[in-house]
C-alpha cells in the first residue's frame, strides 16, 4: 500500500492538472531549438530558480556559451544509506525550420486542443521535464523528506550530440538509478547506440575539366579519377555491409535490420571547371547494445578498405576516416553509447512497480529505435532506464503534441517512484 500522504498527493495531480500543463507550457515558450542552439540560458535559469525554491542545491555551468547545464541536488536525510535517484532530461528541442505554414499554431505557443498539448518539445521532451519537475514540487509542498538523494539534471545538446549529460557524468554526479524522462510512450526502454563518421576520398592532384577525356578513355594516359564517382563505390559498399549486418546481427527487443548505415550528407568538388578532387560522405551508423562504437567503426573501415582494394585507383588512394565528435554543430560529429537494461533487475522492477501502481497494468519493456542521453549514464556505470511521455510519431514532427492525460499519469508515476525508491535502503 502507498503511504497515505502519497495517495493524497496523487489526487492533487488531478485537481491541479491545469497548473501542471501550464508549467509544461512555460517550458515550451522558451525557444530552445537546436540547431541553432546557444539559446537555453533563460530556460535553464527558470529550472535553476524552480529547483532552488524547492530546496535543491543548484550547480549551473556553461557547456557552450548561452547553453548551460543545470543540476539540482536534494540531499537525503539518510544520504548514503538509502537509494539515490537521478532524473535526467534535455532542455533543447528539435529545430523548427523557417517555413511554419504547416504548423497549425506557433510552435512556441502552447495550445490545448482535443485533449492534447501542442508545441515544439511537448513530446521530446519538455512534457517529461515539466511533469517530473511538478512531481518534485508536489512532494516538497507536502513536506516529504526523502532518505535518499534526489538529483535533477536539465542538460543541453542532446539533439545535436553535444552530450550535456556526459558533462554531468564527468563532473561526478552518480546515483543508484537514473531515469531519462525522454520520449518512450511510457514504455521502459534501453537503446542501441549511434556513431557518425566522415569518409573522405581525396585525389593527390587537381585537374582541369578538359583533362577528363584523358582519364576515362583508352589510351588517355592520365591515371586519375573523380572523387565523386569513386564515392559511389563506397556508398555501394556501405549498402552491402548494411545488408550483411541485417542478416548476421540481431538483439532481443529490436526488429531485424536496426544496424543501419545511413549516408546522411555528401559534399565534394570545387566547381564545374574542375574534376572533383575530394568528396566527403557523412554517415550515421546504428549498433546494438552488445557492441560499442569503436568496434563498429573498425568493421566499417575494414570493409571499405576491402572495397577500395577491388578498384585500381582507390587501391592507391584509399578512403580516409574520421569518427565521432562532441557536437553536430561545432565539429560535425556525435556519439551516443548504447544502453542495455535487465528486465529482472531491481532498478527496472522499481519503475515497473511505480507504473503498475498508477495504471494497474505492467508497462512494456523493450528497446527504443532511437537514441537518448541514457547511454551516457549507463556508460558511467549508473543503472538507467528511459521512461517518459510522448511518442516518436510526434517527436521532431510538425504540429508536435502530447496527450495531456499521459503527462498527468506520468507525473503520478514519478511521484510514486521518487518516494518509494528514495525510501529503500541500498
Active site residues: 92, 158
In a 3-state reduction of DSSP, which class is residue 195?
A: strand
Which residue in this structure is represented by grid cell 509544461?
24
Strands 207-208 and 365-368: unpaired
Closest CA to 243 of 255, 228, 259, 231: 259
Cell of 182: 525522454
Residues 6+ apart with CB under 8 A from 161: 196, 325, 326, 327, 328, 333, 334, 335, 336
Give the separation between CA 403 and CA 113, rounded to whole angstroms.
10
Cell of 52: 532552488
What's the longest Cα–Cα distance across the chain? 90
Long-range contacts of 59-66 (CB under 8 A, 24+ apart): 59/171, 61/167, 61/171, 63/155, 63/156, 63/157, 63/162, 63/164, 63/167, 64/37, 64/38, 64/156, 64/157, 64/162, 64/327, 64/330, 65/38, 66/38, 66/39, 66/40, 66/41
Task: Give CA separation, 228 vs 212, 305, 341, in Å.
Answer: 13, 17, 42
Strands 193-202 and 320-323: antiparallel
Alpha helices (H) along 98-223: 127-141, 164-170, 212-216
Amino acid at each position: 500500500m502507498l503511504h497515505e500522504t502519497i495517495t493524497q498527493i496523487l489526487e492533487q495531480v488531478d485537481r491541479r492538472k491545469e497548473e501542471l500543463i501550464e508549467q509544461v507550457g512555460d517550458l515550451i515558450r522558451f525557444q530552445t531549438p537546436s540547431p541553432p542552439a546557444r539559446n537555453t540560458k533563460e530556460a535553464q535559469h527558470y529550472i535553476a530558480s524552480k529547483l532552488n525554491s524547492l530546496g535543491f542545491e543548484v550547480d549551473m555551468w556553461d557547456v557552450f556559451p548561452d547553453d548551460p547545464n543545470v543540476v539540482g541536488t536534494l540531499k537525503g536525510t539518510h544520504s548514503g544509506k538509502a537509494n539515490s535517484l537521478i532524473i535526467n532530461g534535455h532542455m533543447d528541442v528539435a529545430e523548427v525550420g523557417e517555413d511554419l505554414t504547416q504548423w497549425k499554431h506557433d510552435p512556441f505557443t502552447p495550445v490545448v486542443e482535443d485533449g492534447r498539448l501542442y508545441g515544439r518539445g511537448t513530446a521530446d521532451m519538455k512534457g517529461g521535464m515539466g511533469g517530473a519537475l511538478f512531481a518534485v514540487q508536489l512532494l516538497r509542498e507536502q513536506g516529504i523528506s526523502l532518505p535518499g538523494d534526489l538529483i535533477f539534471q536539465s542538460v543541453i545538446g542532446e539533439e545535436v550530440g553535444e552530450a550535456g549529460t556526459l558533462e554531468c557524468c564527468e563532473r561526478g554526479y552518480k546515483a543508484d538509478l537514473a531515469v531519462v524522462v525522454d520520449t518512450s510512450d511510457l514504455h521502459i526502454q534501453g537503446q542501441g547506440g549511434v556513431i557518425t563518421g566522415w569518409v573522405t576520398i581525396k585525389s593527390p592532384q587537381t585537374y582541369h575539366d578538359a583533362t577528363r577525356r584523358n582519364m576515362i578513355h583508352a589510351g588517355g594516359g592520365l591515371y586519375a579519377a573523380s572523387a565523386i564517382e569513386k564515392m559511389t563505390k563506397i556508398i555501394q559498399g556501405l549498402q552491402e555491409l548494411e545488408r550483411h549486418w541485417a542478416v548476421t546481427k540481431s538483439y532481443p527487443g529490436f526488429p531485424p535490420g536496426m544496424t543501419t548505415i545511413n549516408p546522411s550528407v555528401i559534399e565534394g568538388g570545387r566547381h564545374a571547371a574542375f574534376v572533383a578532387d575530394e568528396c566527403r560522405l557523412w554517415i550515421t551508423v546504428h549498433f546494438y547494445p552488445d557492441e560499442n562504437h569503436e568496434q563498429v567503426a573498425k568493421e566499417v573501415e575494414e570493409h571499405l578498405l576491402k572495397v577500395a582494394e577491388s578498384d585500381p585507383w582507390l587501391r592507391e588512394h584509399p578512403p580516409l576516416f574520421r569518427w565521432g565528435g562532441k557536437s553536430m554543430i561545432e565539429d560535425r560529429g556525435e556519439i551516443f553509447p548504447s544502453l542495455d537494461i535487465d528486465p529482472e533487475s531491481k532498478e527496472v522492477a522499481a519503475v515497473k512497480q511505480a507504473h503498475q501502481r498508477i495504471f494497474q497494468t505492467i508497462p512494456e519493456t523493450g528497446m527504443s529505435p532511437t537514441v537518448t542521453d541514457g547511454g551516457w549514464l549507463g556508460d558511467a556505470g549508473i543503472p538507467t532506464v528511459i521512461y517518459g511521455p510522448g511518442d516518436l510519431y510526434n517527436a521532431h514532427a510538425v504540429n508536435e503534441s502530447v496527450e495531456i492525460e499521459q503527462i498527468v499519469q506520468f507525473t503520478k508515476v514519478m511521484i510514486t517512484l521518487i518516494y518509494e525508491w528514495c525510501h529503500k535502503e541500498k
